[in-house]
A and B are shown apart, each in its own frame.
Chain A
Amino acid sequence: MTRTIKKYLVIVAILLGILFLLRKIDWLPSFGNFFRSEPLTIDNTPILIKEINNLAQLITITSFDEVVMDSIKKSKKLPGTIFPVPASKIVLIAKGQVMAGVDLKKLNNEDVMIKNDSISILFPPPQILNTILNPSDFETFDETGVWSSEEVNQVKVRIREKIIQRALEQNLLFKASERCKIIMENFLRNIGFTRIQITFKDQLP
C-alpha cells in the first residue's frame, strides 16, 4: 500500500517537474493567461458623412477642466414583496474642454471701417463655440446596479453644464475677447495697417 502511494507521488512529482520546465521555457501558457478575458474590441465599420458645414470660427481660448459627478437611484421594493432592491450608484470622472472665441460669419461689411492705414473693426460678441466631452474623456470610478445609456447620459449632460459654468466663472468670454484683439491686431499689422481699433458689440457703451 505504502509502496503504491510512493509510486504515485513520484509520478505526480515528475509530472509537476515537467509542467514547471515547460512553463519556464514558455511552451505552456501561464494559468493567469489561461483564465484571462479576451479584450473586447469593436468591428471596423464604415464612417458616413452626414453634413458638411462651412465655418469661420476664431477659437481664441480653451478651458480644460476635470469634474466628478455622482448619481444615486433610490432603492425600491421588489414587486409584490417586502424585500428592497439595493440602491444603484454611479460616479463618473470627466475631463472636458470649453472652447470660446468669435464667429467671424457674423461680421458684416458695415462692421469694418478703413481710412488710409487705419482700420476699425466691430466684432460680434465672444461666445462659447464648443464643449468637448468625448467618450475617452470619461472614467467610471464606481458603478453599482444597472444603469441604462439614457440614465448615464443625463449625468454626463450635468457634467457638461458644470464644466461650462466653471469656465464662465473663470471669465472665459472676456479672456477670449482679449486674446482675439491680440491675434487680430498682429494679423492686421502684418497686412499693412498701423492704426488699429478693435471693439466688440457686447462691450459698446
Chain B
Amino acid sequence: MRSSIYLLFILFILFISSSCNQKEKAVQKQLIPIIKQLSDLATVEYVVTKIIKANDDKTWYKIGDRKILMSCKASLIAGIDLSKINEENIQVHRGEITMILPQAKLLYINIRPEDIKTEYEDVSFFRTPYNNAERDALAAQGESQIKNSADSLGILQAAEVNASLVISNFLKKAGYENINIRFDREKTQGLQ
C-alpha cells in the first residue's frame, strides 16, 4: 500500500515537471521573431523634425510646475505596393508599355531612440522629475502627431512621382522605349 502511494507521488512529480517544461517551451516558441513577406517599393524619404513641448500644471492639487522640451527627428518613408500590380494593370503593344500603379501610401515612420533629445527640463521643488515612461509617452504622442500630418507634407505625391521614375528607369533598362505610367485613383491608402 505504502509503495503504491510512493509510486503515485513520483508519477505526480514527473507529471508536474513535464508540464512545466512544456510551458517553458511554449514561451520560447512565442519569442521567435515573426517573419512577414512584403512587396513594398519605397520611393521617398522625408526627414522631419518636431519640438515636443509639455507642461504638467493642470492637476489642481500638485504644487509647482513641471516643464519639458524635447526635440525629435523622424523619417517618413512612402512608396507603392508592387503586389497590387497584376496582368490587368499592364498593357504591352509593339514596344509600348502602359502600366497602372497602385496609389502611394505611407509605408512606415522611423524615430530612432538617439534622435529624441531632452533639450530642457524645469521641475519645481515639490515635483518629481520626468521618468523614462513619461518621456516615452510624450514622444509617442509626438510620433502620433507626425504620422497624422504626413498627408499634409505632400509625401504621397512625391512618392508617386518617384515611383513613376523608378519604374520607368527599370522598364528602360528592360528594353522599353515608350512608357506610360498612371496611378490607380480608386482607393485611398494609408499607414495602418
Contacts and interface: CB of A to CB of B under 8 A. Distances in A.
Interface residues of B, number: 82
Contact of B92 (A37, A90, A183, A192): A192
- Which of the four size classes fits the interface of chain A? 35 or more
B104 interface: no
A140 B107 CA distance: 27
B133 A143 contact: yes
A51 to B, nearest CB: 4
- Majority secondary structure, B binding face: mixed
B173 A109 contact: yes
Contacts, number: 207
Nearest to B154: A49
Interface string A181-205: 0010001101111000000000000
B113 A153 contact: yes
Interface in A140-166: 140, 143, 146-149, 152-153, 156-157, 160, 163, 166
Given A55-B44, A104-B166, A132-B110, A147 B174 contact: no
A201 to B, nearest CB: 16
20 contacts: A43-B53, A45-B51, A47-B153, A50-B73, A55-B44, A55-B79, A58-B82, A59-B40, A59-B41, A101-B38, A112-B173, A130-B108, A133-B112, A135-B139, A147-B132, A149-B117, A156-B114, A170-B33, A170-B35, A191-B171
